[in-house]
Each structure stands twice: as C-alpha cells, then as structure tokens.
Structure 1
Amino acid sequence: MLGIGKLAKKVFGTPNDRTIKATRPLVEKINALEPDFQKLSDDEIKAKTVELSERAKGGESLDDLLPEAFANCREAALRALGLRAFDTQLMGGIFLHQGNISEMKTGEGKTLVATFPAYLNALTGKGVHIVTVNDYLARRDAEWMGKVYGALGMTTGVIYPQQPDQEKRQAYASDVTYATNNELGFDYLRDNMKGDLREMSQRAHNFAIVDEVDSILIDEARTPLIISGPSQDRSDMYLSIDVLIPDLLEDHYTIDEKTRQVTFTDDGNDFLEAQLLARGILPEGQSLYDPESTTIVHHVNQGLRAHKLFTKDKDYIVRDGSIVLIDEFTGRMMSGRRLSEGLHQAIEAKEGCEIQPENVTLAQVTFQNYFRLYNKLSGMTGTAATEAEEFAEIYGLGVVEVPTNRPIDRKDDDDAVYRTGAEKFEAVVETIKEANAKGQPILVGTTSIEKSEFLSEMLTKADVKHNVLNARQHEQEAQIVADAGKLAAVTIATNMAGRGTDIKLGGNVEFKILEAIAADPDGDHAAIRAQMEEAHKADEEAVIKAGGLFVLATERHESRRIDNQLRGRSGRQGDPGRSSFFLSLEDDLMRIFGSERLDKVLSSLGMKEGEAIVHPWVNKSLERAQAKVEGRNFDIRKQLLKFDDVMNDQRKVIFNQRREIMEAEDLSSIAQDMRHEVIGDLVDEYMPPKTYADQWDTEGLYAAAIERLGVDAPVIDWAKEEGVDDEEIIERLEKAADEMMAQKATSFGPDAMRMIEKQVLLQTIDTKWREHLLTLEHLRSVVGFRGYAQRDPLNEYKNESFQLFESMLDGLREDVTKTLANIRPMTEEEQRQVAVEMSEQQEQLEQASADQTPKALAGEAREGFDENDRETWGNPGRNEACPCGSGKKFKHCHGRLN
C-alpha cells in the first residue's frame, strides 16, 4: 500500500516534475521559431542581436525576449559548432536564466547550455561572467563557445593568472567573460586596493553562471580568499619547534579525526615546557601558560597539526623543493595556495623545505560573500540535489533536476563491504582483471595519491596495463581522460570532480583526429577525419558490446556528491555502463562514522576472509553516515559565513568609501569634515562639557592642536576671555585650521592639493583596514573561548568588532587630519638634493651593470670562487650575474632554489 506522500507524488508529480512541465510551452515556442531563424543569413543573425539588445536597453523584459534570443543562439551554435541544442539543453538554459541551479548529468552538454542564458543576459550590455573550476576549462570554453558568441556578434573574454592589466580590463569589458572563481575573487580584492578608477578591472556584478557550482560554492567555500604581504621571518622558530614534535609520545596529545583537531594533553604540555626551557626557546622563569608565551604556544600547536593532521602525498606533495597543497575534492594541485597562520611554514619545516616568510592579510573575502554580490546568480552541475538546502539558505538558489536527453542505461551495484583494506584491494584487482579480459574500459576512483599509486603497483604486478591520473599527472589530464573510454582501457583517478572532459566510449574521436593531423600535417585533412570517424564507430560498438564504461570506486567519500560525480562518468547520453563501490571497515568514513556495529554484524555472520557483504541496507546506513558528515560540514560553513558577514558589512563600507573617494573630483569638504570632527573630539578631551574653566587643560589642548592640526593657536589666551565656552573654542580652532589649509592649498596649487588629499585618504584607509583585519583575526581566535562562560561567541564578536570598527574610523580621521596638516611643499634646496641623489643612484646602477657585463661575457669566475664553498661566492643579488662566470643570472645558476 502506498503512503500518503508517495500517493500524492504519483497523482500530482514532484515539485521538480511541475517545474519541468512549466517550461515545456517555452521550449515549444523556441522550436516553433526555428524555421524562421534558419532562413536568416549570418549577417542577419548578428543584426538580430543588435535589435534584441536595443529592445532590452529600451526596457523590454528579458523574459519576453527569451524565445527569440534562444532561437537565435541555437541557430548560431549549429552554424559555428555543428551542434543543435536538445530540448533538455534549452530547459537547462531557461532555469539558469531564472537564477536556479540546473542539475544535468555528465555528458548532457552543460558547456553549450550556458551560452543561451549568457547571450540573453548579455543583451543588456552589463556583461556576464561564466565561472569555471580551473584555468584550462576557462580558456577551452572561451575559445570553443567564443565561436558561438562571435557568430551572434558578441565579444568573449577570458581571465587567467598573471594576465597583463590592459588585457584583463579588455576581457572584463567583453559581453561574456570566462574566468575561474579564484581569479574573480582576487580581482575583486585587487580592484579595491587600486588608487585610480581607471586601473580597476571588473565592471558591476551583473549575472554569473557557475559551472561545477557545488564544487565552487560549497567545497571551496570553507577557505577564504586572502591577499597577503610578507611579515617578519620566523623560520628559526619553526625549525626549533619541528625538532621537538617527533619526540612526543602518544599520551602527549589527542586527535579527533571527525573535526580534524589535535590538542596537547597535560602531560604533553609539561613535556613541551621542559623541552622548550632546556633549549632556551622559552625564557627562564616563564611558563607555557603565561600570556607572554602566546606566540610560542601558537607555533607549537601548528607544528603538531603539521605532523599529525597533514599527510604527504594526500594533503600535499613536495615539488621542486616547495610544498604544493592538493585539493581534497578534485585531487588537483593548488599551486600558489598557502595555508595561513603559520601552518604552511610548519609543514615546510617538517619536510625540510625552504621556509617562506609568514604573511599578513591585506584583503580577504569568502566565496559566499563574493558571489552574493551578483544581482543574479545561477549554476550548473551533475550533482546538486543533496545540497539543495544549503544552496537555498546561503545563496537563495533553487535546484532543478533537468531530465536527460536519453534514458540512463547504467547498472548501479550495491556496495560491497570487506573486513580489511587488503581484502578489498585484492577484490578490486580481481574485478578489474575480469572486466579487462572482455575489453570493458574501467575507471577506478581513489581518494588519495598514495592509494592510487598503491593500486597502480598491484595492477603492475598483476600485469594489467593502466593509466594513473592524480595531481602528479596534472599536465596530461585531458589526454588521460580522453583515452579512458577506449577498449580495455584501465584508468586510476584521484577524484573526478570538475575534470571537464567527457569520457566517450571508444575514446575521444576529436583527440584522435587532431593527433592524426599533427602526424601528417600535409595530408588530406577531410579524408583523415572521415577515416578516423569510421574507425571510431567500430571502436565504440566494441566497447558497447563489452558493457560500456565500468566505474569502480575503492572508497566512499565524505560527500555523496563526490561519489555521484564519479558514478555519473558512466552512462552518459544513454550509453550502457556499470558502477560499483568496494569498501572496507578500515576506510576513513567507515572507521570514523560507525563501523563498530557493522563489524559486529559481519562477525556474527561468520564471514570468511575475502568475502564481502552486499545488501541495500548497507547502502542506506552509509548514506545516513554521509548525510551526517554533510550536515556537520554545512554547519561549519554556515558558522564561518556568520562570522564573515560581520566583516563583510564593514568591508562593503570601506570598499564603497574608497570608490566614492576615487570618483570624487574634490575631497576638500570630506577632509574638512574630518578635521572638524577631530577638533570637536580634542576640545571634548581637554575641555570636558559641563566643567568649569579652572578644570580645563588648555596647555594640553594647545600642544595637541600643534601636533594633530599643525595650528599654533592662542588657546590658553582664548580660554581666559570672559564668556568663552567650549563651542566658541571649537569655532575659533576650526577657523584657524581652515585658514591654514587654505594657505597650504594656495602654496601647492589647487590641482596638486586635490591629488594629495585623495592619495592621503586612500593610503590611510588601506593602512587602517589592514590593521583592523589583523585585529579581527586575533579577536576571532580568542572569542571562541567565551562559550565556556555561557556567552555567545558570535554576539561577542559582533559587539567587539563594531567597537573596533568605530575606533578604526576615529583613528582614520585623526591620521588623515594630522598627515594633511604636516605636509608641505619641498624647498628648492630639497628638490635639488633629491635630484642629485637620484642621479647618483642611476650612475651606480649603470656602473654596476657595466662592471658585470664584461665578466659575464668573458666567462670569468669571481676570484677565489669555489663551487662547493658558499662563503667564496660573495653576496650577489638574484638578478645579478652568477659569480661562477657562466653569464647566467644568479637565480638561474648557482642561486637556483632546489
């Protein structure tokens, strides 16, 4: 008998079914327009874009323009790429335009789907951003889909790291701009550190389509984007403490794997204190519990985390003498990304790498708050339904499951659970051999580089030919993925999220054609293409006969989405396929989240070695465990966002203030208002309201007026006059300070004074904001302990950060007033002195260059130079000629960082 809920769904359909049904009339309307647009010439398609754009700018709603815009875009895509969008792709595009997430299975053509809403929304002239997970996809999609936009008469831009400023501004000015989430976030921060509006890159945040939206808005949302600058070098401290950590015993610390926290026990603290005192790191007579020991305790804690929570080849790899982090979700290297608060330095000390100086935060933003800047946001992914609650709560995004173009023909096996990891991997190898024998291509999913390489060794011993795709093979990624669907191919992959290249049965025919043309550049390209396509059909048929792509996962991930992404690689576009998950009680998820009960069940069943339990109940219990972990991670991200929202409100005030300052032609009135407020505060401080004249500190006020206002006013004499009160003193001081600044403006010239005021205001805001960010970081780390005193840490943080912000603004007014008061034009003598110094510096540079060039060219080594004795090298700069006489720069020769 059906339950009430199931019965209602059967009669009325699910909410998702009703949403899909509501778009069908729109899709029919677009299809009805297709014959009209097929008759248009290429130039008429571009002319249609101009017409639609004028109508959009004239006030016609984009919803009304949608059928014509989508029909025009479909025809342009067919001519430019030879791809005619399916009805399901049009549906996906409609949901994106409406500000939803379109959940579309792997291989349903999401890249093409994005062109429809991007084109429609770009008609307003305000620009559209399409966000990808890596630079390769941003460039590939911009080049590929740029042909469609070009056919429609629109411009396409792409953003990439270390891009020249002029090119970047041009890319952002395009109708459609492709970029990674990291570059967009960093450009937002960089723009708000610029001193001139013309140097800013980004336009207003109009509409963004986020590809792999779950990866970007959820997986990466825990880590804020930070622009930082170097602070003092503390490498000796890290090295000294790193030596101590291996001496710790197991009862000196506790590890909580669920929360990824590690803490010292009382015994551990006593042991450390003795060791630190013995090595002179902790001063004599000082305890670890003293406030003065805060920095040492912080370093010791980071050293412990580096050794016990971060594993080489899983969390990071050592490459060219530096630590490169690995993205736990995609298995990719995150070059240039560093852990904050000294943790990266602690890992460098652990691995014996050169320790880079710690950084101080100059600007920061979370992805949640960056993407909430957009007037409209949407996204695409193959797996979003499991996180629908988070998307709705944080971003206001609905999730719509778009039906596949063809029915899915993939067999999903129940999970097989083994007692030990060794038994599991033996079963994995046997299963691979069986499938491989009949020519079925296999994609094997692992959760770490270490496990992928362990399995690779086992397959090598079993004489099974295979490819490995993990952070070490990052550069060959596209080729390895393209080959994964070939007959009898075995591919081991560390996470498949956001790989961006489809696994096609029989292999990727486009890759094969390009390879064949590259091998025979002078041959008949059309004949080569026809020949390769014919051969590919036979390959594809053979793979289909073998059962299609077999996805074999060796572990369950914490998140169901990551498992679904891997599973979704098989059965694309109606292809046959199979997926299996092989697990053991030693897997992290099973071990941490409830393997004890399962272990008892398996023991009571009397399972033999090598046997597995396979049952739908096991799947359900694993899904519950994963849902618990996802819920906990959601709570962590939600808490992070609540704290960041406090800072975000302040960030918006500061960034808006900076923009207003840059836009303003004349800032003298703002500078004057600040000056008057400082005067009011000064008089209140030295002549408190409702006090008698004999209680006033007029001498203190006189000194403060000289120091902070640059005004030598007879305050002491004024205060002795009959009937003079604090308001009269304020008015006279304001008049004196205004006259002094007016004289200064005359001596500098009005234009120069306006420029000086602008620069002083911007520089002071930036300095104060940096100091404020550091203070907030310290406040955040301290405020968590207030919970022990039954006080809400978030409320404490809100109240104290607001007070800190107010005091920052007070300090800002004072610093601006003081700087402007003390600034003065250079005398002729000072100008001459500066010119002489600059001339001398230039001569020294030229002389240094002339001295080095002949030696470098002649190949002469420095006198007494010994390659094995660094003391004989002198102290050359990194860009100077190497003292060995090779002619190369020092940094490219003996000064190279190994």
Structure 2
Amino acid sequence: MSSAQPRKRHAGAIEESGQRLAALADTELAGRTQGLRERRAAGESLDELLADAFALAREASWRAEGYRPSENELEAAAAVHHGSMAEVKGRAAAAAVVTLAAYLGALDGRGVHVISGNGAPHTVAVCRFLGLEVECLDGLELDARQAAYAADVTVGSVGEFSGDHLRDNLCTEPGEQVQRDPHRAIVIDADRVLLDSGLDERSLEVEGERVAFITVGEYLRLYAHLSGVTATAATDADEFAHLYGLPVEVVPAAAPAGRRDHPDLMFADMFAKYEALVEAVAGYYDAGRPVIIVAGSGVTAALLADGLTRRDLAPGLMPPQRPLGRAGRRGAITLLTEPVPDIEVILGGDLDWLAEERVLASGMDPVLSANDAWAEAVAAARQELLPRWRRDRENVIKLGGLVVLGAERLAPRRLELRLRELAGEYGETQMYVSMDDDLVRLRVPTRAKKNRAPIRGWLIARAFESRRKTAEREVAARRRRGFAYAAVYAEHRAAYYAQRRDVLTDPLAAVLAVAGPDHEPLLRAMGTDLVRGGALGSFDEQWFRYLESLRVLYEGQRDEGFPEHELASYRERVEVRFQMMRRDLATTIAERLSSFDPEQPTG
C-alpha cells in the first residue's frame, strides 16, 4: 500500500495544461477530444496524454457538474489509470476520480467498462460533455447491447457485464456476441464488489438447467486493466494485492472531517444493549436529529424494530429506488440490516427524491405522462421545496448532523468503517456491543448479568479486539481458498470458450482439430453452416454434462468452507472430468460424422 499522501507527479503538468482551456467555448473544449484521439492513433501513449486529458476532464467536470477535482483526486485518478485501488472519501470525490480515469482510458479506442450499481451519473455527464459516446446497460434489450459495448464508455452493474459475457460464449452464429474483449474496467464501491461479492456466482439457466456460471472475482480477473475506487480499502490492502494484484492508494480528504466517532459501549447481554440503544434513539429523536441504526442481521433488525415501535419510534419506510432518500431529514429514524453501498445520506433529505415523491403523490405517473410533463413537474416541485429544504438542512447541521449507531460490531474493520462513513462529515457514530454477540462470545459472570449499564475495562476491550482479528483472518482465509477453488474451473472454462469460439469463426478447422484430418473431405461436403451447427450442439451437450458434475463437486467443497487440504484432490478430480469431457466430445463428433450421409438432403 502506498503512503497516505499520494505523490504529486502529475498535478503541475495538469495545471499548466489547464490554464489554456478556461477561455475555450464548450464546443471547442469538446473538440479537443478528437485531437487527443489523433495523438493516440499517431503513437503517443496514454501516459503521454495524461496531463492534457486530465486537464480537459477537470475543466469539463467544472462546467458540466460544478465540481473541480482537487490535486489529490488528480493523483488518485492517475493511480487508478495505472491499475490501483484508490481509497477516496466522499461520493463526489470518488466520482471525479472515476471520471478522469475513464476519460483517459477511453482514448485508447478499446472501450472502458465502469462497473457501478448507481449508473455513475457524474461520469456519464462529463464524458458526454467531452464528446465521448457513453451507454448504460441498465434496462437495455439484448439487440441494443452490441452498440452499447461499442461505445467509448459503457456503464452497468457487475451482473450486467458478467451475464453478457456468459451469453456471448453460448452464441450459435458469428457476430451475435455483444462484448469486445475485456480490456479496461473501473469498479465503483470496489471493496463490496471485489471482496464481499467476489465468490458470488453469476449463472445462466435455460429451462431450469444451468448452462454457464462464473464468479464475480473470476469475471473481473479477465480484464487486462482492472482498477477501482472505494471509501474503504486500506484495511484490506493485502487482499486486493493477493486476489487481484491491485495496490491500494489512499487519498486524503479535501478537508478534515468533523465527524465524531465515539468509543464502543459494551453491555453484559444483548437485551441490555437493545434497551440502551432504543433509549439513545429516543434521546436523539427528541432533539430532532436523524438517526440510522445498522442492525447487522435480520434477527437483530426485527428485535430493534419491535423495541422502537413500542416506544412510538417506528423506523420510517425506505423507498426501494432511494433507500436513504429520507434518512437525513430532521427526526428521521432509519433501520438498516447492513450498510447500504455507494449511497450518501443528504442532510435535510434527498431533494430530488422528495420532489419526485411530491409529484407522485399528486397522481402523476412518470410512464404515462406526455413528453416532458413529468420532468417539468419534478423541476417545479424541486423549486417549491428548495427554501424549506435549505432551512431543514441547516437545522440538522446545527443540531450535530446525522447519528449512525451500530447494533453489532462487524468482523471486517472495513465494514465498520463503511458504517461510520454513513454519518458524513458532520455527524457522529457509536457501536453498541454485548458480551454474548456472535463475534465476541465472552463469558459473563452471573452478577455482571444483572448490570444494565455499560461495562468498561481494558481487558474486555482487548479480548474483543483479539476476537475480531481472529474473525477477520478466518474470513480472509476462506475467501482466498474460495478463489483458489474457483480458479480451477476458470482454467477449463477459458480453454473451452476459446475452442468454442474457434468453432464459430472457423468450424472446419476447429472440428478437424478434434476429430482428426481423415474427416476433411466429409466436412467440406457438409458445408460450413452444417458443420458449425452440428459441432456446437456436440460441444454444448458435453460441456453441460461436465458443468453438472462440477456443480456437485464445487458446492460440496463450498459448503465445507473450501477446505485447504482438499484443494489438490479437488483439482485432480476436476481435471479428470474435464479430460473425460474432451474425450467424449471427440468420440461424439466422430460418431456423428460417420453416420452422416452426404447424399441425404439436409433441409
């Protein structure tokens, strides 16, 4: 991991280049993109274009979105471009870093994939302002996706990208694939995607049969250039390096945060903890401060919801589109099972969402509304709400900002830091812990159980920290073992997909490589289309059988926690099945060729 202060290697050159841009009209600014493309085509490297590209994107960010990236953010974007994981505090700063790196990478002409759960609106706006073609995958029909992937920048979730990858490798005709080769990806909220979801499987199922699957981690490792941005990366720098080869660059915040992170409160048992937490929420509610409680589990969330409701402190409903849209309003109480990814809590409430909510309440339907009527109604509602929203926001800040309370300590420190980040720069945080929490499980003396007040003592704190470090090591070790198991199948999948692509593009040569040269006269008599169709049917039939046998093996090892001592045996068994599949494939193709009658009509 790098030092906390990024090295200032580019800021001077960027500033010098940027001084020449301020006087340009918007169209002239966008026109500079073509000049950078031409320089790249003439042989200049992206590193040689970096200063001019970043200066251009910084000026466009200011004009299009009213945000001017800081020097630290420029350096972080350079690190991301060179294949690092950047830890960046603040949603706006992170968006600026992603945008700078995406714009530069797009000049290569090979496509940049921005992997995001929220559509990356800042990146979309700035890159389009500069004349790049930007497409979003969300909601696109299959026939529109090829054009989306041909764009300079393509934005979508990891599920969208990995699903299209699997579909592309099941195509039956040349030209059906929608993706280009996986070249450059920038992952937003990267710790959740790369670490927490790294072993999640993305599958394709046809009529109840799983015909393809890939883990999130294995999909992302296909990219020639992978990088990411997140608010919490430094604590897991070793994991990013080990699993993905990504160094971590920590970017100092533009201004020191005023958030207050209070020491933990430890209780004898969970019931004393819940009572204290509900009492604290009541106090903050009476003071008018918004509160978010992160339960840590569904069971804890249900118990807390019941306790809060009995005190007439029922948590507010969370709209699915904007889970925390109301969470920053005065007196709001929000109960989460776990921290919400990649979302900033806006003090006073999310004004855009509040405006949409008002228009919806009036009976207007965004789908049925004619032309721009919906957008105009939302804009009018926003203007009407703006004065009151400003007053509410100022009041919440004066009261001390947002309060975030954790009902359980989270084993990875990274997740706890993410929880605290919800409070933003003005709020405060505190964790409530009991000695019978799953993570702690410390023995409680009988007389201590009668104590409802917080328990203090350095021995308890040290014991808890020891338990957490042990839990962190166990989580990391299981993840690494899981990646090792997934890599076994990844080798075979890559070999099979490459061979299947050969069948699509040159079926005669591909089938000869499997069945042998003696079949060449017959294959030529059959013709390209017939050979391709028959070969793909044989290939997929054997591959699906292999997948089913592999699924049983893999899920058994996964359920046992991916035991390290079983890895060598698992690799051998999978290899045996793969070689058996290849032999069966050759046999199947040879048998089908021998039964083919060139005199028999095929239509």
TM-score of the pair, normalised by structure 1: 0.61
CA, structure 1 residues 784+30, in 2 after alignment: closer, same or farther (shift >3 Å)?
closer
Superposed displacement of residue 399, structure 1: 1.2
Does residue 440 of structure 2 align to residue 590 of structure 1?
yes
The letter of the residue matching 2:193 is I
Q: 5 Å matches for 1:415-430?
A: 415-430=264-279
CA, structure 1 residues 524+796, in 2 after alignment: closer, same or farther (shift >3 Å)?
closer
Higher relative contact order (CA 8 A, sep 6+): 2
Q: Is the 8 A contact 1:414 1:619 kept in 2?
A: no
SS of aligned partner of 1:551 = strand
SS of aligned partner of 2:259 = strand
Does residue 61 of structure 2 align to residue 77 of structure 1?
yes
SS of aligned partner of 2:154 = strand
CA, structure 1 residues 617+34, in 2 after alignment: closer, same or farther (shift >3 Å)?
farther
Does residue 28 of structure 2 align to residue 41 of structure 1?
no
Does residue 280 of structure 2 align to residue 431 of structure 1?
yes
- Distance of 1:540 and 1:124 partners within structure 2: 43
The letter of the residue matching 2:260 is K
Range with greater deviation from structure 2 (608-617 or 111-120): 608-617
Superposed displacement of residue 227, structure 1: 2.3
Q: 5 Å matches for 1:378-393?
A: 378-393=227-242
SS of aligned partner of 2:324 = helix
Q: Which residue pairs with 2:579 in the alignment?
A: 806
Does residue 290 of structure 2 align to residue 447 of structure 1?
no
The letter of the residue matching 1:150 is R
Q: Is the 8 A contact 1:560 1:623 kept in 2?
A: no
Residues 662-717 of structure 1 deviation map (CA, whole Å, 9 limit, x = unaligned): 222xx43544454447xxxxxxxxxxxxxxxxxxxxxxxxxxxxxxxxxxxxxxxx
Does residue 414 of structure 2 align to residue 640 of structure 1?
no
Residues 58-111 of structure 1 deviation map (CA, whole Å, 9 limit, x = unaligned): 221111211111111122222222222233332332221121111122445322
- Distance of 1:196 and 1:395 partners within structure 2: 33
CA, structure 1 residues 777+56, in 2 after alignment: closer, same or farther (shift >3 Å)?
same
Residues 348-388 of structure 1 deviation map (CA, whole Å, 9 limit, x = unaligned): xxxxxxxxxxx543222222221111111111111122211
Q: Is the 8 A contact 2:18 2:52 kept in 1?
A: no
Q: Which residue pairs with 1:817 in the alignment?
A: 590
Residues 170-223 of structure 1 deviation map (CA, whole Å, 9 limit, x = unaligned): 111111111111221121111111112311111111111111111111111233
Q: Which residue pairs with 1:561 in the alignment?
A: 414
CA, structure 1 residues 800+479, in 2 after alignment: closer, same or farther (shift >3 Å)?
closer
- Of 144, 157, 160, the residue aligned with 1:167 is 144
Q: Is the 8 A contact 1:672 1:738 kept in 2?
A: yes
Q: Which residue pairs with 1:487 in the alignment?
A: 330
Q: Which residue pairs with 1:656 in the alignment?
A: 498
Does residue 522 of structure 2 align to residue 538 of structure 1?
no
Superposed displacement of residue 559, structure 1: 2.4
Q: Which residue pairs with 1:195 in the alignment?
A: 172
Residues 531-574 of structure 1 deviation map (CA, whole Å, 9 limit, x = unaligned): 6444333322221221111111111123222221111111x3xx
Does residue 535 of structure 2 align to residue 761 of structure 1?
yes
- Distance of 1:458 and 1:814 partners within structure 2: 67
- Distance of 2:377 and 2:177 partners within structure 1: 48
Which structure: larger Rg?
1
The letter of the residue matching 1:589 is L
- Distance of 2:98 and 2:551 partners within structure 1: 39
Q: Is the 8 A contact 1:224 1:365 kept in 2?
A: yes
Residues 818-844 of structure 1 deviation map (CA, whole Å, 9 limit, x = unaligned): 21232336868x97xxxxxxxxxxxxx
CA, structure 1 residues 66+463, in 2 after alignment: closer, same or farther (shift >3 Å)?
same
Does residue 132 of structure 2 align to residue 148 of structure 1?
no
Range with greater deviation from structure 2 (773-782 or 216-225): 773-782
Does residue 109 of structure 2 align to residue 125 of structure 1?
yes
- Distance of 1:418 and 1:805 partners within structure 2: 55
Q: Is the 8 A contact 1:757 1:820 kept in 2?
A: no
Q: Is the 8 A contact 1:441 1:487 kept in 2?
A: yes
- Distance of 1:619 and 1:413 partners within structure 2: 14
Does residue 392 of structure 2 align to residue 414 of structure 1?
no
Q: Which residue pairs with 1:57 in the alignment?
A: 41
- Distance of 2:537 and 2:269 partners within structure 1: 61
SS of aligned partner of 1:579 = strand
Residues 465-487 of structure 1 deviation map (CA, whole Å, 9 limit, x = unaligned): 53144xxxxxx145451221122
SS of aligned partner of 1:120 = helix
Structure 1: 5+ residue stretches without partners:
1-13, 231-358, 470-475, 678-733, 832-898
The letter of the residue matching 1:768 is Q
Superposed displacement of residue 129, structure 1: 0.7
Q: Which residue pairs with 1:353 in the alignment?
A: none
Residues 303-339 of structure 1 deviation map (CA, whole Å, 9 limit, x = unaligned): xxxxxxxxxxxxxxxxxxxxxxxxxxxxxxxxxxxxx
CA, structure 1 residues 785+511, in 2 after alignment: closer, same or farther (shift >3 Å)?
closer
Residues 253-277 of structure 1 deviation map (CA, whole Å, 9 limit, x = unaligned): xxxxxxxxxxxxxxxxxxxxxxxxx
The letter of the residue matching 1:206 is H
Q: Is the 8 A contact 2:2 2:248 kept in 1?
A: no
Q: Which residue pairs with 2:368 in the alignment?
A: none
Q: 5 Å matches for 1:262-661?
A: 359-464=208-313, 466-469=315-318, 476-498=319-341, 500-512=342-354, 532-570=385-423, 572=424, 575-591=425-441, 595-596=442-443, 599-600=444-445, 606=448, 608-614=450-456, 618-661=460-503
- Distance of 2:380 and 2:574 partners within structure 1: 70
CA, structure 1 residues 56+493, in 2 after alignment: closer, same or farther (shift >3 Å)?
same
CA, structure 1 residues 425+52, in 2 after alignment: closer, same or farther (shift >3 Å)?
same
- Distance of 1:560 and 1:41 partners within structure 2: 47
Q: Is the 8 A contact 1:452 1:468 kept in 2?
A: no
- Distance of 1:616 and 1:107 partners within structure 2: 36
SS of aligned partner of 1:491 = strand
The letter of the residue matching 2:500 is R
- Distance of 2:412 and 2:311 partners within structure 1: 32
Residues 792-818 of structure 1 deviation map (CA, whole Å, 9 limit, x = unaligned): 532233334333333322222221122
CA, structure 1 residues 465+827, in 2 after alignment: closer, same or farther (shift >3 Å)?
closer
- Distance of 1:61 and 1:223 partners within structure 2: 36
SS of aligned partner of 1:543 = helix
CA, structure 1 residues 676+657, in 2 after alignment: closer, same or farther (shift >3 Å)?
closer
- Distance of 1:587 and 1:154 partners within structure 2: 52
Residues 747-802 of structure 1 deviation map (CA, whole Å, 9 limit, x = unaligned): x5xxxx1111112222211111111222334455788999xxx9953223333433
TM-score of the pair, normalised by structure 2: 0.89
- Of 150, 162, 173, the residue aligned with 1:185 is 162
Q: Is the 8 A contact 1:414 1:614 kept in 2?
A: no
Pairwise CA RMSD of aligned residues?
A: 3.1
CA, structure 1 residues 486+617, in 2 after alignment: closer, same or farther (shift >3 Å)?
farther
SS of aligned partner of 1:638 = helix
CA, structure 1 residues 582+673, in 2 after alignment: closer, same or farther (shift >3 Å)?
closer
Does residue 55 of structure 2 align to residue 215 of structure 1?
no
Structure 2: 5+ residue stretches without partners:
365-372
The letter of the residue matching 1:33 is S
- Distance of 2:462 and 2:181 partners within structure 1: 46
Q: Is the 8 A contact 2:502 2:510 kept in 1?
A: no
Q: Is the 8 A contact 1:104 1:380 kept in 2?
A: yes
